[in-house]
């Protein structure tokens, strides 16, 4: 069984995203379309940091 990972909480605790806008977005979620796109960008960066990026098979080995 897969465990659920709260990626937003993990990023906030890591301190990698210290920008106030990014912190506010991770805590309160998106309010409009462009914030949703930016939140997706943050999520894709988190996936690369964790090595979960399916487009880069070298990191998945």
Tens place of pLDDT for every residue, the chain, 61 residues? 466 778 888 888 887 777 888 888 988 988 999 999 999 999 988 888 887 776 655 555 5
1 located within any domain: no
The model carries a pTM of 0.73
Domain annotation covers residue 42: yes
Owning domain of residue 24: 15-50
Query: Is 61 contained in some domain?
Result: no
Nearest to 23 by CA among 41, 37, 9, 34: 9
Tell whether 7 is covered by a domain.
no
Q: Does some domain include residue 27? A: yes
- Whether 44 maps to a domain, the answer reads yes
Q: What number of other Cβ atoms are within 10 A of residue 44's Cβ?
A: 13
C-beta of residue 35 within 8 angstroms of C-beta of residue 26: no
- Does residue 3 form part of some domain? no
The tally of domains found in the chain comes to 1
For the chain, where are the alpha helices, taking DSSP H only?
7-14, 20-28, 33-50
- Residue 25 has a CB neighbour count (10 Å cut-off) of 19
């Amino acid at each position: 069984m897969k465990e659920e990972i709260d990626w937003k909480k993990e990023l906030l605790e890591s301190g990698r995203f210290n920008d106030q806008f990014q912190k506010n977005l991770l805590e309160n979620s998106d309010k409009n379309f462009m914030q949703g796109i930016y939140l997706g960008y943050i999520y894709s960066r988190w996936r690369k940091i964790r090595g979960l990026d399916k487009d880069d098979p070298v990191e998945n080995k």
